[in-house]
Amino acid sequence: MALARFGRQVKRQHGVCVKMTAVAILGLCFIFVWSMFSSPSNSVTVQRESFDDIAEPVASSTMVSKSKGKDIEKHDANGNKKKVESSLKEKDEKKVNGSLPLPAHEHKSGKKNEKHVSKRKKDKVKSKLSNKVSKENQENQEQEESQGEEAEKENEDEEEVVVDDKEEGLDGESEEKGEMEGDADVDESVDQETQEKAENENEGKKRKIKGPVFDPKAHYSWKQCSTRSKHNYIPCIDVESGFTRLHGYRHRERTCPKAPPMCLVPLPHDGYDSPVHWPESKLKVLYKNVGHPKLAAYMKNHNWLIKSGEYLMFPQNQSEFKGGVVHYLESIEEMVPDIEWGKNIRVVLDVGCSDSSFVASLLDKDVLTLSLGLKDDLVDLAQVSLERGFATFVSPFARRRLPFPSGVFDAIHCGRCTIPWHAHEGKLLLEINRILRPGGYFILSTKHDSIEEENAMNTLTSSICWNILAHKTDDVSEVGVKIYQKPESNDIYVLRRRRNPPLCKENENPDASWYVPMKTCLHTVPSAIEQHGTEWPEEWPKRLETFPDWLNNKEKAIDDTKHWKDIVDKSYLTGLGINWSTIRNVMDMKAIYGGFAAALLQQKIWVMNVVPVHAPDTLPFIFERGLVGIYHDWCEPFGTYPRSYDLLHADHFFSRLKNRCKHPVSIVVEMDRILRPGGWVVVRDKVEILDPLEAILRSLRWEIRMTYSQNKEGIICAQKTIWRP
């Protein structure tokens, strides 16, 4: 009866609609029964194959079968690989320098882009289905699509790279961001190589890596590097291939090799001897440790360094400044009495590193000066500065930011300066303004100023509201000295008639610096109490033990200082067998609050505090204490000459690299490069890391001086020997 009644209704005026409804109900029943009897994996596979534009998410679990891995690679080879990587980049670009969150608008723009992409996917799917299925089936397919997208979104939310219970960006993330933000001046060849390198690294880091950092069954055979720069090879600065024909031997921007170097840098051809110990090295160093033809040509026209026998001598109070560097420093202090060397001014950046006697004289006044060696083809004096025992690093200074946070240097000096600060919209001077402390001093000395350059410089410094405190040409040194001061508040920026350069957006992070291009905007002075740089630090040495209000976790910083003081006093100075009177240049490869450097301060030792880019950003506090440091990604070589450091310290350093670096062994090779023959390495870490690390050090023919382990953790103290393969 019911079927008969239904048949009569079909024949009526609205029978067509009822018929379509019946078809839809039958279709839904069929889909429900089919989904119940089919496997979940098959349903997902069919659904993903029906939507070609949806990138397949990478599962957060590492339990992936080989067959599935092959399917993913095959699927990527068909053209979706780039889309997978781009989605990961959009999701993972949450930090700059690892611990510094991106501005809020960048997070929002990322979500907006995801919505836009999903909307385009829906439009494409609808256009495909409109000619194949009925209206009811189309609605069902759209419902399945939305469910698939929700599942995909959940998988993406679960996909995170976690190291030490902290979310971290993938290796090379900041580099990609720097390229995407518009470093238009960098050559296309450099961008292409950097992008390919980042893609290759990200491809291997989509999943959490299991297993040990070092393969305990691996065997290593080492060869010497056959590079053009030979014994002075700096991998990311000396571009050895691909650029020599177009740009010459040196390149104007940091560009690392695609694969980290796995070769050993040879010793100088004239041999190498143990460096002259501090403090005697202030006056002389071994010439064969630093000598090269361009240095010999440079000495002919500069009397502040003289070759005498096997030594390179530095006559006391001799410098490029006539009348001596002591007179030069005293004249600066007379022009601006607020510059009290060693009290009000503790941390200084010397741009150019042309005359290390300036650094030596400031050190006598308790001023810690970090020299920026500008690598060029003329003469490499940064290596001479390091051999003398002064804090120095090497870096290009052209288009990318220097690896420092904002507002950390008390003063910045450029002696006998030839840098065109006003060129390229004043980018270089704006970068100096970024890293200079509010109220800090920029000291510029030039011998011959052209009227055009002086007018351009005056216009630029006025536009960024720098105040000229003094301008004087010294009769003795015959050098014109200008001393500028950066504003201490934002009030003066409002009074500018011309807003050029413009103020940077509030959500732009001034501390982001690793592979970030220089900006042509002006960062405002910090004003909130939780920001660093709002107040000038205490006078030295009180600032070493001062913990400012803006520092998070003061208790941890205090405990870190006490912790390292106890370890250094009770263990390092007496229990490692190291003759600390021979140690001058020290690097802490994973500095946190600078407690290790503070504990060694009484030993007349300077420490380069390296804060890894994926670690919490504690570098501003290290500078606040009156110490120096730098950002770095240890998956790349460090910016310094071979044989730069007497001691390398790595506290739980390698255990943080399991999910970052593709070849952790290359970091050990880098340690061999930057450590002097006869230098020391102190590694504290888990036993599962120390055991294979000891085997690697022995393969390098290092001498293991001491090992100790307790409760699955231990320490290795090893010494590098003079070895020629």
Over residues 688-701, the mean pLDDT reads 95
Strand, coil or helix: 166? strand
| Low-confidence winner among 6-20, 262-276, 315-329, 498-512 (lowest mean pLDDT) | 6-20
Strand, coil or helix: 17? helix
Residue 127: which residues within 8 A CB-CB, separation 6 or more?
none
| Low-confidence winner among 124-138, 246-260, 543-557 (lowest mean pLDDT) | 124-138
CB 719 within 8 A of CB 694: no
Residue 70 reports pLDDT greater than 60: no
Model confidence pLDDT, tens digit, residues 359-374: 999 999 999 999 999 8
Higher-scoring residue by pLDDT: 242, 410: 410
- The closest alpha carbon to 346, from 435, 437, 415, belongs to 437
Banded model confidence at residue 36, pLDDT cuts 50, 70, 90: low
Q: Please tell me the predicted confidence (pLDDT) of residue 681.
A: 98
Banded model confidence at residue 18, pLDDT cuts 50, 70, 90: low
- The closest alpha carbon to 633, from 351, 218, 260, belongs to 260
Residue 77 reports pLDDT greater than 70: no
Residue 157 reports pLDDT greater than 60: no
Residue 58 reports pLDDT greater than 60: no
Adjacent-strand bridge partners of 485? 441, 467
Can you tell me the distance from the alpha carbon of 426 to that of 462, in angstroms, rounded to the nearest whole number?
A: 12
Can you tell me the distance from the alpha carbon of 93 to that of 516, in angstroms, rounded to the nearest whole number?
A: 13
**Residue 453: both structure tokens together:** 């350059």
Please report how the helices 104-129 and 81-92 are oriented relative to each other, as an axis angle in degrees rounded to 10. Answer: 150
**All structural domains of the chain with their residue ranges:** 316-538, 544-720
Can you tell me the distance from the alpha carbon of 229 to that of 239, in angstroms, rounded to the nearest whole number?
A: 9
**Residue 100: both structure tokens together:** 């510094």
Would you call the peptide bond into 501 cis, given omega within 30 degrees of 0 as the criterion? yes
Can you tell me the distance from the alpha carbon of 720 to that of 701, in angstroms, rounded to the nearest whole number?
A: 8
Ranked by mean pLDDT, which of 62-66, 183-187, 602-606 comes out on top? 602-606
- Percentage of the chain modeled with pLDDT above 70: 69
CB 378 within 8 A of CB 164: no
- pTM of the complete model: 0.74
Can you tell me the distance from the alpha carbon of 297 to that of 288, in angstroms, rounded to the nearest whole number?
A: 15
Q: What is the DSSP letter of 191?
A: H
R_g of the chain, CA atoms, integer Å = 31
Model confidence pLDDT, tens digit, residues 667-687: 999 999 999 999 999 999 999
Residue 719 reports pLDDT greater than 90: yes
CB 375 within 8 A of CB 394: yes
Higher-scoring residue by pLDDT: 4, 612: 612
Higher-scoring residue by pLDDT: 61, 147: 147
CB 393 within 8 A of CB 639: yes
> To which residue do tokens 């440079």 refer?
298
Residue 491 reports pLDDT greater than 50: yes
- Sign of the Cα pseudo-torsion (446, 451, 452, 456, in order): positive
Reduced DSSP (H G I as helix, E B as strand, rest coil) percent helix, strand, coil of the chain, to 5: 40, 15, 45
Report the alpha-carbon angle 284-290-293, nearest 5: 115
Over residues 4-20, the mean pLDDT reads 55
Higher-scoring residue by pLDDT: 475, 151: 475
Model confidence pLDDT, tens digit, residues 387-406: 999 999 999 998 999 999 99
Q: Please tell me the predicted confidence (pLDDT) of residue 476.
A: 76
CB 324 within 8 A of CB 317: yes
CB 597 within 8 A of CB 572: no
Can you tell me the distance from the alpha carbon of 117 to that of 43, in angstroms, rounded to the nearest whole number?
A: 23
Q: Please tell me the predicted confidence (pLDDT) of residue 277.
A: 95
Q: Please tell me the predicted confidence (pLDDT) of residue 168.
A: 37
**Residue 220: both structure tokens together:** 């290593």
Q: Please, what is the average pLDDT of the chain?
A: 77
Can you tell me the distance from the alpha carbon of 195 to that of 478, in angstroms, rounded to the nearest whole number?
A: 49
CB 62 within 8 A of CB 208: yes
> To which residue do tokens 């379509």 refer?
20
- Percentage of the chain modeled with pLDDT above 90: 51
Adjacent-strand bridge partners of 301? none
Q: Which CATH architecture fits 316-538? A: 3-Layer(aba) Sandwich (3.40)
Residue length of the chain: 725
Can you tell me the distance from the alpha carbon of 429 to that of 421, in angstroms, rounded to the nearest whole number?
A: 6
Distance of CA 141 to the CA centre of its chain: 47
Q: Please tell me the predicted confidence (pLDDT) of residue 304.
A: 85
Q: Long-range contacts: 571-580, Cβ < 8 Å, 24+? A: 572/682, 573/603, 575/706, 576/680, 576/682, 576/705, 576/706, 576/717, 577/705, 577/706, 577/717, 578/647, 578/680, 578/717, 580/605
Can you tell me the distance from the alpha carbon of 289 to that of 590, in angstroms, rounded to the nearest whole number?
A: 28
Residue 5 reports pLDDT greater than 60: no
Answer yes or no: CATH 3.40.50.150 is held by domain 544-720.
yes
Ranked by mean pLDDT, which of 91-95, 96-100, 438-442, 471-475 comes out on top? 438-442
Residue 16 reports pLDDT greater than 70: no
Banded model confidence at residue 17, pLDDT cuts 50, 70, 90: low
Model confidence pLDDT, tens digit, residues 616-646: 999 999 999 999 999 999 999 999 999 999 9
Residue 524 reports pLDDT greater than 90: yes
Residue 99 reports pLDDT greater than 70: no
Residue 72 reports pLDDT greater than 90: no
Higher-scoring residue by pLDDT: 353, 711: 711
Banded model confidence at residue 600, pLDDT cuts 50, 70, 90: very high
Residue 655: which residues within 8 A CB-CB, separation 6 or more?
164, 213, 685, 686, 689
Q: Please tell me the predicted confidence (pLDDT) of residue 120.
A: 44
Q: Please tell me the predicted confidence (pLDDT) of residue 421.
A: 92
Q: Please tell me the predicted confidence (pLDDT) of residue 351.
A: 93
Q: Please tell me the predicted confidence (pLDDT) of residue 28.
A: 79
First-to-last alpha carbon distance for the chain, in angstroms, is 99
